[in-house]
Structure 1
Amino acid sequence: MKLCRYGAPGEEKPGLIDADGHIRDLSPHVPDIAGDVLSDRGLDRLRGIDVKTLSVVQTKPRLGPCVGGIGKFMCIGLNYSDHAAETGAEPPEHPILFMKANSAITGPNDDVVMPRGSTSTDWEVELGVIIGTRAKYVSAAEALNHVAGYCTLNDVSERHFQAKISGQWTKGKSCDTFGPTGPWLVTRDEVEDVQNLDMWLDVNGKRMQTGNTKTMIFTVAQIVSHLSQLFTLHPGDVISTGTPPGVGLGMKPEPVYLKEGDVMELEIAGLGRQRQQVKADA
């Protein structure tokens, strides 16, 4: 299934994408794409609904983040071998974890707003993992059983804030609008091999990133297992699993960063496309 949330910010309704690409209204059946709805039992209930009985959303509404009630937004750094190489970093021994503030989360096609003082706002197409059932001390072999599904993410980053203002990476990752999420959640049963998904990102129509999840240093299963040894993962928690090469920071001979008016377009095979216009904060 492909599940989405649509409507004005803060007023999103749950939806299902049918075989023709239309949004069907799920609100008579569930309050949101969140919590227990993300469990295997909750998703099975949705699969049991006759799609033809769901009203088609006739307008072309704004798409919100594809999951509601996100508890933790976790990100893995330097998790692609080819991206680590372009930044000159040694591959990490363990997954590098940082957090992105939930206030950064936006819809997949909402504007990205560069904060005041930004000089180095960058792009990062990433695979998002959405937890469906509570996970604590799980093995890599059982980790994916706790995943509800996957989505496309853009881990927008302000590199000066991230690296030059004393503190942790979170400073450069958590600016408002820096977490476009969606357009939809694709349930794990529809993703044949999560470690073989093509991904790309364009800026103003120019291809900047091209990658595949097969070059991940730590697989999705390893990441979920590792995090579950540190703390409990809850339904609706989101993990952004790292980015392939081609970020602005890694451009030669000099880094290239976003400017007002730029347009980012990005996609992961089978998980949907995003489009954001870049604006400067007033």
Structure 2
Amino acid sequence: MTTTLFGTAPSGRLFHRRRAAAIDVADLHEVAAELLPRLAAPGLHLSLVRRPGAGTALHVEEDEHTLRVPLTDLADDMSRAGVPATAAGIAAALRSWVARRPVTDAAAAGTGIAVLDWCDAAQTAVGWAVVVVRGEIAVPWEPSPSARTVELHRTRSAATGRAHDVPLELRVEGPLALWSHPRAPVLASSALVAPDLMLHRITAAGLSLPDMHVVVTPHRPVACAGPGVARRLAGQASEASVTLPWHRVVDLPWISSALS
């Protein structure tokens, strides 16, 4: 499943059929003018800015982040993503676009949660990252150039603490224990800040895993099993994953940003 700035992209014939109906800039302008005031929040300023000879742009300003995107570019991106050319479709896409705006240092410090994500584009290693939850999505934080080392440590420490309190679902299926989050899948890995507590809950659920290994596929449920079962599970998966003994998880490095 492919995720875009406007949600989940359609596929196959449906995708091509939707692509035929391009998003009209005038329609986007009308929807944005009505919707943006309702999406604004303390510290978040959203506005339409008319630029002489260059058309109108969507201006986003929040703490250290400032972004200005021409409506023509935004309409083209929506059209390529298969956004329905209706007021409701455009409004939903615009809400999703605003929700996926960059995370500020202050937001990460105040509400960030520690999770595991890919360290590299090749998806060969995972590391700890901080995400901020907005509705049903979790947006990765990339520290600003002005963030000091002490601030990074404080934000990451606070995010680790919040990870302990994320409500997760545990399901035992034969030799496997699966951890998931009902709304934001990436949060499943937040449980790994305390793998010893995970092991305790799994044991209490009736599954004994004295040599527990975890199969981590960022943005998917986390699987726990014995080493042999974990290796077989990872080998059969269609997506890249990393398999680790539970005691090595807490020593994984922090990464400055997460890949989406």
Q: Which has the larger radius of gyration?
A: 2
TM-score by structure 2 length?
0.26
Structure that is richer in helix per residue? 2
- Of structures 1 and 2, the one scoring higher in RCO (CA 8 A, sep 6+) is 1
